[in-house]
Amino acid sequence: MPTKTCFQRLPKRDRDEVVRLDAHYSSPPPETMLAEGLRRVRDMARNSPKGSSLPLALAGEFFGLMSRIQEGGIIRRLRDDNVAPLRTSVNTAARLQLLTIVAGGKEWSSSSDCGHVFAMIRALAVDDWPLINAFVSRFPGPFSDGHPATVLFANALYGVLRDDRAALEHLDTRIRQRKESSFFQAMSDTLVGIMGDDAASVAASIGTLIKYNRRQDQMGIVFFNMEKLICLMGHGLFNLCRRKFSARGLSVPEIAAELTWDAEFQRSVEASPAADEYLDFSSVNPVVGQWMKDLPAMLDIDGFLQHVS
């Protein structure tokens, strides 16, 4: 009997949703959307000479673009049974999210100083370490503002990235004392397992993430609708574990094949880590194209406006 594709393995309600949304996310192409968005920012600059709202306007355009790119990539991965669109879209979305936060600054992030960790998970899911390092450099922490569980997760994630066992030991008690949803609890438990060299705990925690991934849109986390079909949180934390365990000479845990765990996508990432797999927007705007490559700490908005056509 032929092996079913990812799309064929989905429940009927999910297949119907993928088909319904396919047309919506198929056009216009991202380059056209970006060009239109940049022209809106340019027109705002012409009508508002002081330009005080331009950074937020640019952040809004980037955010809208990143959501459509990632949603469309997940749909094409499922529709065409091809992991390449997923890798490209997730990598592009993660880089655009960094530019979104840098452009919008504190006004965009509102009362949170740690929301960027969900973009870091996307970067981890495709093994984009230049992007991960850029996030750590731009936003060094420690974090204190935002949803308490997100603050705790962000500080724990940075502890693992920096191999700061003392920080994780301090946070471990707080992680165990909090009563969170199964998904949120598993996010932090995975980090504790990684730092504790506990492969069984990591595998169990990622298994919980995969199990409850479909409910993530009810949790108030920065997720997009189609992410419920592929557990990027699980893939991101697994790749973090893989990197840390390999450096310590430890065996990487086995993850059971479940519906929202994309084993083919994971094998693709492990075979060839991210290397310029994000979309190149240089043809639309050379400054934005350079931003996507360099991941700057500040954006020269006046410079990019000169290239908007």
- The residue ranges of every structural domain in the chain are 6-305
pTM greater than 0.85 = yes
Strands (E), 25-119: none
Tokens representing 61 are: 């355009």
CB-CB contact of 277 with 113 (8 Å): no
Taking the CB of residue 98, how many other CB atoms lie within 10 A of it?
25
- Return d(Cα 90, Cα 123) in angstroms, integer: 8
Taking the CB of residue 293, how many other CB atoms lie within 10 A of it?
15
Contacts of residue 93, defined as CB under 8 A and 6 or more positions apart, other chains included, come to 66, 67, 69, 70, 73, 119, 122
Residues of the chain with pLDDT under 50: 218-222
Sign of the dihedral through C-alpha 41, 60, 233, 73: negative
CB-CB contact of 34 with 284 (8 Å): yes
pLDDT given at position 166: 81
Residue 167 phi, psi (nearest 5): -65, -40
pLDDT given at position 97: 95
pLDDT given at position 207: 96
